[in-house]
Amino acid sequence: MKIVDLSEAHQKLYFVCLEDWSDEMKDAGDHKETWFHKMKDKGLRVKLALDDNEKVGGMIQYTPIEHSFAEGKDLYFINCIWVHGYKKGRGDFQKKGMGRALLQVAEDDARALGAKGMAAWGIPLPFWMKASWFKKKGYVKADKQGGFLGGVLLWKPFTGDAVPPNWPKPKKSPGKIPGKVTVTCFINGWCPVQGMTFERAKRAVSEFGDNAVFQGINTFDRETLREWGIADGLFIDGKRVGAGPPMSYEKIRSMIEKKVKKVSVSM
């Protein structure tokens, strides 16, 4: 196994988070690719783990926290560390030390770049970005309940004067347009999961004509993120829905349809 920098040859694979076999990724649009091209000049770092046969099995991406969806200073933030764990496609590379190796290389890189610490996002899913996994690597909780999947913000200081990071606090919720089902989707662009949600919701809304309206809010811009305090998320009539793995198109459409029927009855 070896850890390498992302090369142009592997960019398309990286844009779909190593899941080039997945039909679901076709619904994610080009949001991550767009995000990547904006971020590559803002300090984005991407490392890949290759097995002995030069096959990519894992990845990590991390950015200066000032350009992430967390708040902090002089730290790097891990958006995602992922070792492919499905039998489909590339195969299962988990429990072979790839994640540990990727994290160590990223931490060493961040130290060399002058960072005072590393922050990470730990979420309550059993197969990806587990908070308990980071804690075993020396990370401690700095804040909780952030991101479109919830979870905790963890960090590992490298220096004595490092300052703990925090999540931006939600400041307002999207409003509702009278007489219409209002679907609002916040998207930062860094993750195909929210890309799927965004594109599916937009497509579903288009089926209901004037009865529903879609509002897309891009939080890549730091001021927009701070204005709302929300990085990613789907809201229907001002209420957040679907925190967790991406909802299917059919599920999103069904939720909108139920709301449309209620609006029609009340009018």
Tell me: the pLDDT tens digits for 3-18?
999 999 999 999 999 9
| Rounded Cα gap, residues 195 and 46, in angstroms | 19
| Rounded Cα gap, residues 65 and 219, in angstroms | 15
Tell me, yes or no, whether 150 and 23 share the same domain.
yes
Lowest mean pLDDT across 11-20, 151-160, 185-194, 239-248: 239-248
* Predicted pLDDT of residue 172: 87
Tell me, yes or no, whether 195 and 73 share the same domain.
no
Report residue 262's pLDDT band, with 50, 70 and 90 as the boundaries. Answer: confident
pLDDT tens profile 67-121: 999 999 999 999 999 999 988 999 999 999 999 999 999 999 999 999 999 999 8
Four-residue CA torsion sign, 31, 27, 258, 214: positive
Tell me, yes or no, whether 195 and 144 share the same domain.
no
Residues composing the chain? 267
CB atoms within 10 A of CB 120: 29
221 found inside a domain: yes
Tell me, yes or no, whether 191 and 79 share the same domain.
no
Contacts of 5 (CB under 8 A, 6+ apart): 46, 47, 48
* Predicted pLDDT of residue 125: 67
Tell me, yes or no, whether 41 and 99 share the same domain.
yes
Which residue from 13, 129, 48 is spatially nearest to 81, judged by alpha carbons?
A: 129
User: Which residue range forms the structural domain that includes residue 119?
Assistant: 2-157
Tell me, yes or no, whether 25 and 95 share the same domain.
yes
pTM of the entire predicted model: 0.92
Tell me, yes or no, whether 124 and 216 share the same domain.
no
Q: In this structure, what DSSP letter does residue 170 have?
A: P
pLDDT tens profile 27-46: 999 999 999 999 999 999 99
Task: Identify the top-confidence range among 32-36, 169-173, 260-264.
Answer: 32-36
| Rounded Cα gap, residues 68 and 188, in angstroms | 9
pLDDT tens profile 193-223: 999 999 999 999 999 999 999 999 999 999 9
Which pair of structure tokens corresponds to residue 94? Answer: 């988990």
73 found inside a domain: yes
Tell me, yes or no, whether 143 and 23 share the same domain.
yes
Report residue 266's pLDDT band, with 50, 70 and 90 as the boundaries. Answer: low
* Range list of H helices, the chain: 11-15, 31-39, 98-112, 131-136, 192-205, 222-228, 249-266
Indicate the pairing of strand 152-157 with strand 140-144.
antiparallel
CB burial of residue 26 (10 Å; 0-12, 13-18, 19+):
exposed
How many domains is the chain partitioned into structurally? 2
End residue of a domain, out of 106, 124, 157: 157
Tell me, yes or no, whether 66 and 33 share the same domain.
yes
243: pLDDT strictly greater than 80 = no
Tell me, yes or no, whether 15 and 103 share the same domain.
yes
Tell me, yes or no, whether 254 and 147 share the same domain.
no
Q: At 187, which CATH number?
A: 3.40.30.10
